[in-house]
A and B are shown apart, each in its own frame.
Chain A
Amino acid sequence: MALTAKEAGLAACHVCNRLIPVGELAATGHRCPRCGAGVHGRKTDSLARCWALVLAAVIFYFPANLLPMTHTGFLGKVQSDTIMSGVLYFFASGSWPIALVIFIASVFVPLLKLLVLAYLLISVQRRSHWRPAERTRLYRMTEIIGRWSMVDIYVVTILVALVKLGALANIEAGPAAPHFALVVVLTMFAAMAFDPRLIWDRMGEESKDLSHHRVTENTEKSVY
C-alpha cells in the first residue's frame, strides 16, 4: 500500500491510532470515536506554534547561559557559577567526562535542538524535497534527546538540597535555573508541536507536480 492516510481521506488518532474518515470528523466534534482524544488530520497550526515556541526558547536561552546557575558559599566565600563556568571548572580540574556530560546536556543539546527545529520548519515551508527519511529521523532524534537537557536542573535540585551545611558550605539556586527550565520545557513543547508528516505531505505534492510536468512535456512533444 503506497497511500497515506490523508490521501485515503482518513485522519489517525494520536492516542489510539484509530483511523477516522475526514468527512466524519465534524460530526464527532473532532473527537476520536474510540478513545475520545482530539483528532485532526495534521496537528493544528503546527508550523506557527512550533516557530513561536522555538523563538521563545531562543529568547530564554541567553539568560539561561549568561546568568549564574548556582551560588556556592564555601567557608565564607560566595562564588557564582554559570553553566559554562561549571563546564570549564570540571574540564580544568581533570574530570572531563563530567564536563562533557554537562556541556552536551546543557549547552549543546538545547542549541542543537533549536537549530534542527528551525531547519525542519524552514525546509517544510520552502517545500523541500530533500531526503525526507533523513529529516524524519532527525526529528525523531530531537524528540528523544530533548528531555536529557533537564539533567542540569536536577543537579541543581540535588546540590541545593544536600549542600546546606551552615557556614561551612551552602549552595543556592541562581536566576539561570528557571530560565533554563523554561528553555527545556519550551523546546519539548516545540518538538511536540511540529508535525513530521508535513515533510511527507510536500513529497506528495512533488509527485503531482512531476506528473503535471510530464504531461506538459508530452503535449509539447506532440506539438513537434
Chain B
Amino acid sequence: MDKRIACHCCDLLHEVRPLPPGGVALCARCGAILYRYKRNPLDRTLALALTGLILFIVANTFPFLAIEKAGLTRKMTLATGIFELYREEVYLVAALVALTTLLLPLVELCALLYVFAPLRLGRRPRLLAPVWRVMARVRAWSMMEVFMLGILVSLVKLASMATIVPGVAVYAFGALIVVLTAAFAAIDPHLVWEALENR
C-alpha cells in the first residue's frame, strides 16, 4: 500500500507514519488535519453505531415537543414538521428537512453498521466501496446538530406565547447527535482502505 498521503487542502505530499496515542498529523504547509490516532476503532465505531440506531428509533417514535396554551395541547414528532410543510405546499423545504434530519442520518447509521459489523468479524462487506463512497458524500448534508440549535431557538421564540414541554424524543435526539459524531470520529479510515485493497 502507498505510504504517502496528499493534503486535501493544499496537495502537499506527506509520508504516513504511525502516531502516538492521542496524536494528530497536521499538514506541514497549511495546517489541515491529515489523520488521527484511533484507539480500538472497530469496536468503538460499531458500538456507537448500534447505540445510534436505537436512539434514532426512540427519537422518531416518541413525541418531540408539546405546546400548551389555554387548555389546548398539541404534540409533534420529528415527522410532523415535515408533514405540515408538505401540506402547506412548501415542498422544497419539506424535502430538505426530511433529507437533512431524517433520511440521511438513517443512511449514515445503516452504512456504518453495514461497513463495520462485517469488518469486526473479519469479513469484507460485498458493497464496501459504493457504501463507503455514499457515506463520504452524505456526511455534509446530515445536519441534526443544526436542527438541535433550531429547537433551542424555537423554544425561546415560543416561550412568551405558550408553554412548551420537551418530550423524550428531544433527549434521544440530543444523545444521537453526540453518539453519531463520536461514531464518525472513532472510524479509522486506514482499516477500510486496507480492506478495499485486499479484494
Q: A residues within 8 Å of B by Cβ?
A: 1-6, 8, 10, 12, 14-19, 34-37, 74, 90, 93, 95, 98, 101-102, 105, 132-133, 136-137, 139-140, 147-148, 150-166, 168-169, 172-173, 177-178, 181-182, 185, 188, 192, 196-197, 199-201
Q: Is the interface of A mostly helix, strand, loop or mixed?
A: helix
CB neighbours (8 Å) of A139 from chain B are 9
Chain B residues 1-18 with CB under 8 Å of chain A are: 2, 4-6, 8-15
A sample of 30 inter-chain contacts (CB < 8 A) reads A2-B12, A3-B12, A5-B13, A8-B13, A16-B132, A16-B196, A17-B193, A19-B4, A35-B129, A35-B196, A93-B160, A101-B149, A132-B10, A132-B30, A150-B143, A151-B146, A154-B146, A154-B151, A157-B84, A157-B93, A159-B157, A161-B81, A162-B65, A163-B158, A165-B162, A173-B85, A177-B90, A182-B92, A188-B140, A197-B10
In the complex, the answer to whether B140 meets A192 with C-beta atoms within 8 Å is: yes
- Cβ-defined contact, A162 with B196, below 8 A: no
Interface 9-mer from B40-48, B53-61, B67-75, B118-126:
B67-75
- Chain B residue with Cβ nearest A135: B30
Residues in B neighbouring A188, C-beta threshold 8 A = 140-141
- Answer yes or no: B181 CB below 8 A from chain A CBs: no
- Min Cβ gap A77→B in Å is 13
Give per-residue flags for B140-183: 1 if the beta carbon is below 8 A from chain A beta carbons, else 0.
11010011011101101110111010000000000000000000
A19 touching B6 in the complex, CB below 8 Å, given contacts A154-B147, A173-B88:
yes
Determine if A172 and B97 form an interchain contact, defined as CB atoms under 8 angstroms apart: no
Contact residues in B for A177 (Cβ distance below 8 Å) = 90, 93
A151 touches B150 (CB 8 A): yes
What is the distance, in angstroms, from B82's C-beta to the closest C-beta of chain A? 7
Contact of A4 among B10, B101, B130, B193 (CB under 8 A): B10
> Taking A35-B133, A158-B65, A165-B72 as contacts, is the C-beta distance between A148 and B149 under 8 angstroms?
yes
B96 interface residue (CB < 8 Å to A): yes
Q: Is B156 within 8 A of A169, CB to CB?
A: no
**When the two chains form their complex, are residues B154 and A162 in contact, meaning their CB atoms are under 8 A apart?**
yes
Which single member of B5, B67, B150, B192 contacts A157 (CB below 8 Å)?
A: B150
Query: Measured between C-beta atoms, what is the minimum distance from B138 to chain A in Å?
Result: 12
- Given contacts A101-B153, A197-B11, A164 and B74 within 8 Å (CB-CB): yes
| Contact present for B81 and A157 (CB under 8 Å) | yes
Q: Are B80 and A161 in contact (CB under 8 A)?
A: yes
Asked whether, in the complex, the Cβ of B6 is within 8 Å of the Cβ of A161, the reply is no
Q: A19-B4, A102-B153 are in contact. Are A153 and B193 (CB under 8 A)?
A: no
Residue of B nearest to A41 (CB): B11
A33 to chain B: closest CB distance in Å? 9
CB-based contact A133/B196 at 8 Å: no
